[in-house]
Amino acid sequence: MEPSPIRSPSKEGQPPRMVCVIFVAGHNDLLESEIASDVSGRFDKLKGVPKALLPAAASADGSGSTILGRWWNLVNTRQILEVFLVTNANKFKYYERWATANDFPVENIINDGTTSAASRMGSVADLDLVLRSKPSIAESDVMVVAGDMIFSNDFDISGVQRFFREKQGDVAVYYELPPQEQSSSRGIIEVDPRTSLVTSFYEKPAEGVTTSRFASVVFYMFRRTSLPLLATYLAAHPAIEQRVFGSFLAWLVAPPAAPASTHNLFGMKLATAFELIGQSGLHEYLACVEGLQQSQRGGGASLGSSAASPITRRAHARVGLVGNPSDGFHGKTISVSIENFWAEVSIHESDTVRLVPHAPSPICAYTRVHMPYIYTCHAQVRLVPNVLSDPNDFGSLADLHGISRKVYICKYAYISSRARRSTEDET
């Protein structure tokens, strides 16, 4: 079993820990109802299945990875200490079975106890329920996502985390609405282009309220210092319709009892495609699945395009406590891994074989000359600064390539003593 990570000291000003809360507690979903009423027989295996557990990037016959499974794979990293799932009483058993099959901690599933849309608590109250059920979360920053959205294959969650660390404030992810999408169906934000501060937040505004086309998705990051405001907001807003994240964020940006400058909410615009947001039908779902299938087959970066998803893996640094692989212990050691120091390798589909970031030629190519045991070596040497002085700035080989642009070529010849003697004898 892999040893539990020991967190090395955080940089001053950075949050010491982060948890993720995935929301799948909705009722009366349009997609689920359209699948249930379908009479073609094509979707019989999917009838009764919660939206988040429908297959994604696979055939619609129930095989393949699920929408929620993709989120679980994305957030199940060492940078996020724990992941929680919020659902309702009707769907709890579905997610319990999913958790058992996917190595998700069942004890981290929070059941809000509701059985219908009429009895729903609202997303803000659900998050408050998680905080009260798991008091240790109060010491953590919290990432909130909707587990029934589909994201495109190029989505880089680490970029959102870096933005959150840099801004030192709460973050709302947004995208620009396409022309055919109505602003009244989304939470719309206005953002200062110089500072990225959210200046206004409108929950499904009526026509003419704002000219902004920036739509927020349920992907937020809250500082631990902001979490106590949930209870304050809920106490002042008893109506269920007001207990949604859009209304809560509008209150954070401009609370009635305090100036707006007392709380910083930053907006991060992503070009990444998010689909199946909110109430989406069967036609949209099938289009999303087809887009992801094409993406996996061919190479493009967004839903409906043709990009293959890269494979990225990390190996974390290790500190040995007892034993040494090279001594008499025969490789048997007791060690711990360090969470925020790692080496990362990414594999991308390509029509040709390439070594990145090195040059296309081999690092060291040997050329044999006429005399025996005489070789010439052309070696490529890179002078690299100490990139691990800040592990948050070095997360991939691409980062290493970007900070080590100077290349020095050395050429030398190695002549063995035997070759020398052979040469001297011949002369």
pLDDT tens track for 274-322: 776 667 778 888 887 777 777 666 544 333 333 455 677 788 887 877 7
CATH architecture of 18-308: Alpha-Beta Complex (3.90)
Omega of the bond prior to 357 within 30 degrees of 0, cis?
yes
Which pLDDT band holds residue 11 (cuts at 50, 70, 90)? very low
pLDDT single digits (tens) 46-91: 888 898 998 886 444 343 488 999 899 999 988 899 999 999 999 9
Question: Does the pLDDT of residue 354 top 50, yes or no?
Answer: yes
At residue 17, the pLDDT reads 86
Which pLDDT band holds residue 411 (cuts at 50, 70, 90)? very low
Helix axes 245-253 and 229-236, enclosed angle (nearest 10) = 100
pLDDT single digits (tens) 381-408: 444 444 444 444 445 556 555 555 433 3
At residue 148, the pLDDT reads 87
**195 Cβ contact partners less than 8 Å away, ≥ 6 residues apart:** 266
At residue 262, the pLDDT reads 58
Lowest mean pLDDT among 115-119, 229-233, 358-362: 358-362
At residue 292, the pLDDT reads 74
At residue 131, the pLDDT reads 94
Question: Does the pLDDT of residue 167 top 80, yes or no?
Answer: yes
Exposed / middle / buried, residue 11 (Cβ in 10 Å: 0-12, 13-18, 19+): exposed
At residue 272, the pLDDT reads 65
Question: Does the pLDDT of residue 421 top 60, yes or no?
Answer: no
At residue 191, the pLDDT reads 92
**Average pLDDT over the chain, rounded to whole?**
74
Strand partners, 265: 170
User: Residue ranges of the domains in the chain?
Assistant: 18-308, 310-349, 350-427
Pairing, β 82-87 against β 109-111: parallel
Average pLDDT over residues 264-278: 79
At residue 93, the pLDDT reads 93
At residue 110, the pLDDT reads 95
Average pLDDT over residues 351-377: 45
| Nearest one of 148, 194, 147, 189 to 172, comparing CA atoms | 189
Strand partners, 6: 338
Structure tokens at 285: 């779902």
Lowest mean pLDDT among 196-200, 265-269, 299-303, 348-352: 299-303
Which pLDDT band holds residue 352 (cuts at 50, 70, 90)? low
The reported pTM is 0.64
Q: What is the separation of C-alpha 215 from the centre of its chain, rounded to a whole number of angstroms?
A: 19
Which of the two residues, 99 and 409, has the higher pLDDT score? 99
pLDDT single digits (tens) 227-263: 999 999 999 999 998 999 988 998 988 766 544 445 7
